[in-house]
């Protein structure tokens, strides 16, 4: 962070730094994708230009020689139209890339002098960028897919009386699954990890029944060419036959790793992911609502999938994901 602060001491240098990171030295028009562009030199002879409101801005403008439209490095990105300093954007994005526990909006508010709404909106836009990827299917020949599910949310006994009108129905051993979610007040999450590539994908599912898990897995995995590793949950029986092979470990019998002639069978990768996810949600954010949980999952998926990269490389990859998305405040707050 100290080194980055020295590289971008002001707003003008932050724009130049972002241009190098996003365009890799070759400015490109976001409208027609032409690289024949011209930098518009401010008429006042300084590195700042006067806006239509009379204020001075360090925003660097370019004009496309083809379509003749003007643009900046922010055009067509999640930062488009932002009123927040670009230097703050860059600093916070680097913190997101480097901090495995995430950052709370209140912390960004205090550190960078933003309003609570601006800090909250800023972080959700960064999370939206982290999840903005042209997703390919997981799996393939020789790939092992580890699948496991967990539940995110507070304990029923700790909830306020206004939210506990009726206790959720739980699964009673020997009486069958009367409720597809054994902790009905929590949100079910399925995580898939490709052990060959190290990529993680987490999705909110309505419940942990076989039908729901199969749909989530089929949407993301080349099943017929992959091997599935799970725990002893019978919910995976519906989809197991569609994989090249299915191996499981029996947690109820204290079996967490099993050795076979083909290799090690375990679901520990997913368990480790859940451990980091829950510690961070509890310790950093304390509470995450179901309607915004998907973006938090995308954030932790991104950091897990890029754990082999350095902080600088992870930050550069995050910049590449800012293209082509917008997340306005009003729809986000009303979601």
- Transcribe 69-113 into DSSP letters: -EE-TTTTBTTTT--S-HHHHHHHHHHHHH-TT---HHHHHHHHT
Q: Give the CA dihedral 292, 335, 136, 314, nearest 10 degrees.
A: -50
Distance (Å, whole) CA 67 – CA 29: 9
Place of tokens 């909106």: 121
Domains of the chain are 1-75 (no CATH), 143-312 (3.30.420.10)
Strands 37-39 and 62-64: antiparallel
Q: What is the DSSP string of 141-209?
A: TTEEEEEEEEEES--GGGS-GGG-SSPPP---TTS--SSSSTTTTSEEEEEEEETTTTEEEEEEES--S
Strand partners, 21: none
Strands 226-230 and 143-152: parallel
Distance (Å, whole) CA 136 – CA 124: 24
End-to-end C-alpha distance for the chain, whole angstroms: 33
Q: What is the pTM of this model?
A: 0.88
Tens-digit pLDDT string for the chain (335 aa): 678 888 899 898 999 999 999 999 899 999 999 999 999 887 655 667 766 676 777 888 999 999 999 999 999 999 999 999 999 999 999 999 999 999 999 999 999 999 999 999 999 999 999 999 877 899 999 999 999 999 998 776 666 666 655 555 444 444 334 444 555 578 999 999 999 999 999 999 999 999 999 999 999 999 999 999 999 999 999 999 999 999 999 999 999 999 998 889 999 999 999 999 999 999 999 889 899 999 999 999 999 999 999 999 999 999 999 999 999 999 999 86
Q: How many helices (H) and strands (E) does the chain have?
A: 11, 12
């Amino acid at each position: 962070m100290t080194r980055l602060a020295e590289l971008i001491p002001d707003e003008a240098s932050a724009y130049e730094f972002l241009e190098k990171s996003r365009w890799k030295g070759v400015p490109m028009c976001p409208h027609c994708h032409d690289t024949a562009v011209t930098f518009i030199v401010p008429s006042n002879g300084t590195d700042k230009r006067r806006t239509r409101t009379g204020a001075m801005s360090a925003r660097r403008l370019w004009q496309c020689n083809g379509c003749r439209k003007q643009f900046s490095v922010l055009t067509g990105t999640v930062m488009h139209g932002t009123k927040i300093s670009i230097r703050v954007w860059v600093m916070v994005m680097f913190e997101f890339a480097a901090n495995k526990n995430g950052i709370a909006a209140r912390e960004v508010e205090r550190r960078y002098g933003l309003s609570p709404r601006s800090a909250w909106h800023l972080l959700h836009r960064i999370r939206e960028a982290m999840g903005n990827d042209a997703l390919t299917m997981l799996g393939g020949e020789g790939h092992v897919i580890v699948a496991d599910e967990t539940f995110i949310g507070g304990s029923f006994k700790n909830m306020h009386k206004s939210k506990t009108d009726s206790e959720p129905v739980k699964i009673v051993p020997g009486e069958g699954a009367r409720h597809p979610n054994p902790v009905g007040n929590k949100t079910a999450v399925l995580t898939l990890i490709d052990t060959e590539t190290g990529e993680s994908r987490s999705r909110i599912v309505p419940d942990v029944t076989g039908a729901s898990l199969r749909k989530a897995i089929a949407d993301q995995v080349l099943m017929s060419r992959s091997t599935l590793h799970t725990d002893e949950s019978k919910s995976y029986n519906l989809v197991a036959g569609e994989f090249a092979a299915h191996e499981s470990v029996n947690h109820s019998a204290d079996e967490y790793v099993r050795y076979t002639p083909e290799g090690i069978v375990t679901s520990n990768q997913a368990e480790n992911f859940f451990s980091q996810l829950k510690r961070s949600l509890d310790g950093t954010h304390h509470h995450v609502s179901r309607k915004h949980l998907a973006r938090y999952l995308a954030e932790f998926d991104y950091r897990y999938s890029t754990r082999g990269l350095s902080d600088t490389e992870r930050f550069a990859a995050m910049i590449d994901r800012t293209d082509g998305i917008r997340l306005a405040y009003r729809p986000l707050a009303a979601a």
